[in-house]
Amino acid sequence: MTADAGLKVVRLGARGDGIAETAQGERYLPFALPGECVRAAAGGGLPELLSAPSPERRPPRCRHFGVCGGCVAQHMGEHLYADWKRGMLEDALHKRGLRAELAPLRSIAAGSRRRAVLTGRCVKGESLLGYHPRNSDAIFELLECPVLVPEIVAALPALRALTAAIGAHEVRLTVLATATGLDVAIASGRGGLDGKRAARLAQIAAAEPRLARLTLNGDAIAQRSAPVLGFAGVEVSPPPGAFVQAVAAAEGAIAEEVKAATAKVRRVADLFCGVGTLTFRLARAAAVAAYDSDAAALAALRAAARHAKGLKPIEAKLRDLMREPLSARELDGFDAVVFDPPRAGATAQAAALARSRVPIVVAVSCHPGTLARDLRILVDGGYQLERVLPIDQFLFSAHVEAVAYLKR
């Protein structure tokens, strides 16, 4: 079929693009669905349909869909979407020769993402706040987002005003919705602000009732109350810009799976523990050794543990597990190990685990490819991959969270 006559889409790719087979090889067509005949749009926008739309095609929920670089799947029906997301994980496991019980995709509601990283830019006296478009370092003005919690969307005008007040060419705003309000951490290469600009930032923060804390490059600008997250009944005040699971319901699904896998153990290692997302849940039933390279996150964990009640002992230890993974000898004293590394995975730590005698390992990951690579190392070291749960933490995007349970 010629390009003028259109391209017939036969399947979906890992990034949500429709794939057409041509004499020149595969063509990737953004926002096209299997069964459709389309003409690709210039610049990668929404395609021109030359046939009846797929029965799985749905109207997008957001005016920015097709421009925004975050969502790639708002046009998919529920069943196609779930199969595509689950298929990402299934394909990654199969490429590594891994077999396991692959649970159905755990769905997550729209409007539930509590953590966002926005980009602000000031050019010729005009300020923009939003996301990058697909395949571009430009910024489009964000007016709505069906993924984010309503509190963040409602605060967009104030966040835009903060961008304008700083006046730097580009800033990054990490916004976290907590029990006490929004925690806004701004990173700017501009450095320190003069008194006038700092006063303006404090004024904007004071006028925004949803805002709990405002920091710039880690320095406090304004605080109405300490931001608070709850983990198994323990209140934690995270440091500015801290990593936490993006969606509370997804965090709950991860914790539920981890709890089931470690239900009968007495001593657990929580690797890449952060501020204690899983640590405090594990400590309700077992002694926990929690490791991370982020000193500020560990300080928040320790402070919360000092005031918590009803927990087994928690040891919080500063260690860069990428450069200095726990050795097999260090690991052998644990009944279970839980590890939740960054997207790059934890090859060295997986290799040390593979040489250990730890009975149970639970791996948490937001990247199917690096997860499958690390799981292959563990299986080659004598572990049996029992179950993998995909969780739709990153709604409408080409990413999926997963929890894998292994037994020696």
Q: Is 366 a catalytic residue?
A: yes
- CA distance linking residue 8 with residue 167, whole number of Å: 48
> Residues 59, 63, 69, CA angle at the centre, nearest 5°?
100
Per the CB < 8 A criterion, the answer to whether 340 and 364 are in contact is yes
> Residues 158, 159, 165, CA angle at the centre, nearest 5°?
90
- CA distance linking residue 400 with residue 106, whole number of Å: 10
- CA distance linking residue 33 with residue 51, whole number of Å: 11
What residue type is 72 in one-letter code? Answer: V
Radius of gyration of the chain, Cα coordinates, nearest whole angstrom: 23
Catalytic residue selected from 68, 71, 273, 366: 366
Helix axes 368-380, 347-354, angle to 10 degrees: 20
- CA distance linking residue 239 with residue 299, whole number of Å: 9
Tokens of 295: 């000193």
- Within the chain, what is the greatest distance between any pair of CA atoms? 69
- CA distance linking residue 221 with residue 78, whole number of Å: 44
Tokens of 403: 């929890």
Helical spans, DSSP H, in 96-229 = 150-154, 156-166, 195-207
Strand partners, 38: 7, 49
User: Which residues carry out catalysis?
Assistant: 366
